[in-house]
Amino acid sequence: MSCSGALAQQTQSGPQAAPKEDDAITKFEKSPWLLAPVFQSNPKLGTSIGALAGYLHYFDEKSRPSIFALMGQYTSTDSIVAGAFAKTSSGEDHHRVIAGLVYGNIKNDYDDYLGTGVPLKNNAELKQFIARYTYRVQGNWFVGAQGVYQNFAISGQSPFDDQVLDVLGLQPFKSAGAGLVVQNDSRDSENMPTRGWLFNFNNIAFRESLGGDFDYDVYRLEFRYYMAHGKGHVLAVRQLNHLTNDAVAAARAPVQLRGYKVGQFTGEYMSSIEAEERFRLGEKWTATLFAGVACLYGSGQNCSDSVNVFPAGGLGIQYILKPKEGIVMNLEYALGKDDDYGVYLKMGYAY
């Protein structure tokens, strides 16, 4: 073969290019390891900073990503929150498991505790374990069971605070319960859904016979809907109902909207609805604009009284850490009524 023929053949087929090395960002995206900062600021816990370290794994090609993680936070009020959790999908996504172990030593400073108009400073120590297993029975339907055990200790930071706790009926207690789970999950992703819905109903029957101090019941009914539109934008809607029966004061249904201190406003029943627009800004960036309202009712409370209605709204920006798994770092600011607010840096969308 002539030199010109060899050159022509080389030009046509192209030289063997050396494989391109991944840059640091691409290596992190492909790595099974996950490391992210955690930040939160609100009037309840003050300012907290911490970190989350996790490991991602696929049990098979048809299962969704599983994650095993550790998390810890320390706050400006000398509070500590730490935990370990796992969320797994296996058996071609027929088996799903959620498990978590949490420890918290939390120092609260309320200007108005439980709507009583009374300021309160208290220390609360929480030890909790929760586990849930669901099995895909047909199509997108899952059924399963869950259980929880927690040891909740609470005390005032002054004799006056102890008196307030006594008047409110708050006391240290243990609770243990079990219940059923029914779900219909058609979301295209658990971490960053763009279409589909999630219907979830579950209950926990807390019983003395299981090791708790009181008998009471908790029921949760939730619906989430996701609609893709435009150039990668997503509209997400969530409607949540948290219902209790014979629950002790510290276990009643709390307002669960961004911008409010979980546990400060509670009632026998809580219902909320919120909508969030997720704007796709680029390959790795999204932004959120959200608004919602919650209501406490039952046992003399009703939604016609503005005292029991809690509006909220806010905005945020997200960076997609793991595109394949749909894991994002999420920085959000939320504003409630009466100077309640929250600043959050966490992993994942709110729902």
Q: Is the pLDDT of residue 337 over 60?
A: yes
Residue 2 confidence (pLDDT): 46
d(CA 51, CA 235): 29
Q: Is the pLDDT of residue 184 over 80?
A: yes
Residue 115 CA to chain centroid, in angstroms?
25
Residue 295 confidence (pLDDT): 98
CATH topology of domain 22-347: Porin (2.40.160)
Which residues on adjacent β-strands are paired with residue 320?
Answer: 328
Residue 250 confidence (pLDDT): 81
pLDDT tens, residue by residue, 266-283: 999 999 999 999 999 999
Give exposure, 316-334, as e/b (b: 16+ Cβ within 10 Å): bbbebbbeebbbbbbbbbb
Is residue 210 classed as helix, strand or coil in its secondary structure? helix
pLDDT tens, residue by residue, 312-336: 999 999 999 999 999 999 999 999 9
d(CA 149, CA 277): 36
Q: What is the mean pLDDT of residues 203-222?
A: 97
Q: Percent of the chain scored above 70 by pLDDT?
A: 84
Residue 8 confidence (pLDDT): 43
Nearest to 297 by CA among 285, 307, 287, 289: 307
Q: Give the HSE-up count for residue 75: Cα atoms under 13 Å, Cβ half-sphere.
A: 20
pLDDT tens, residue by residue, 110-150: 666 666 666 767 677 889 999 999 999 999 999 999 999 99
Q: Is the pLDDT of residue 183 over 60?
A: yes
Question: Is the dihedral angle over the CA atoms 240, 318, 100, 50 positive or is it negative?
Answer: negative
Which residues on adjacent β-strands are paired with residue 241?
Answer: 221, 271
Q: Is the pLDDT of residue 192 over 70?
A: yes
Q: Is the pLDDT of residue 344 over 50?
A: yes
d(CA 10, CA 60): 41
Nearest to 173 by CA among 189, 155, 146, 158: 155
Which residues on adjacent β-strands are paired with residue 334?
Answer: 314, 342
Residue 9 confidence (pLDDT): 45
Residue 7 confidence (pLDDT): 42
Q: Is the pLDDT of residue 99 over 70?
A: yes
pLDDT band, very low/low/confident/very high, at 169 (cuts 50, 70, 90): low
Residue 171 confidence (pLDDT): 64
Q: Is the pLDDT of residue 13 over 60?
A: no
**Torsion, CA 115, CA 119, CA 125, CA 126, rounded to 10:** 10
Is residue 113 classed as helix, strand or coil in its secondary structure? helix
Structural tokens at position 104? 């918290």
Q: Percent of the chain scored above 90 by pLDDT?
A: 71
Structural tokens at position 121? 């400073």
Nearest to 241 by CA among 258, 260, 255, 229: 255
| φ, ψ for residue 308, nearest 5 deg | -100, 5
